Amino acid sequence: MKTDERPKLDIPKTIVERIMDGAVIGSFVWIVVYLVSVWGVLPEQIPAHFNGAGEVDRWGSKWTLVMLPIIAGLLWIGMTILEKYPHKHNYMVELHERNIEFQYRNSRMMLNVLKNLIGLVFVYLSYIFAQVALGEEDSLGIGFLPVFLALMFAPMIIFMIRSLRHR
């Protein structure tokens, strides 16, 4: 079925998707409140980048800290918009009447999980950048990169397997 021939189905979000969205919106509000509350005590130079081992390898203006929640918010909003158009997504299997609702829901759920994980990672990074700047932490930690990669790839793999199983 070609993309322009696919039906547009109204599939309501699940309670899990709504809870995840709410949790991330709440974490965005929390990080903004936190950053505003510590802004006055942050030094002028804060971590701007961490290397693969989680150590600070570049310092920058504390105004760079403002960019993390902005980027996270824009990504979250963009991915929320994409969730509304599962008939435009790419699929690994041929869509037909028996599987189309499942495939749309599966694709939308994968996008929902990924957008919310990305949002939480950005909130965590904002917090850690501030904590390192304040001297409360000394690095991002060596475990961040493997955990981040697992958080990004595991859902993709799981949802792709689900898609293939429900051809």
Give me the half-sphere count of Cα atoms (radius 13 Å) on the Cβ side of residue 67.
10
- The single-letter DSSP state of residue 139 is -
Average pLDDT for 38-44: 95
Contact call for residues 11 and 107 (beta carbons, < 8 A): no
Residue 116 CA to residue 17 CA, distance in Å, equals: 9
Tens-digit pLDDT profile for residues 121-133: 999 999 999 999 9
0.95 surpassed by pTM: no
Confidence of residue 143 (pLDDT cuts 50, 70, 90): very high
> Per-residue pLDDT for 1 more than 70?
no
Tens-digit pLDDT profile for residues 67-82: 999 999 999 999 999 9
> Per-residue pLDDT for 109 more than 80?
yes
Residue 151 CA to residue 144 CA, distance in Å, equals: 10
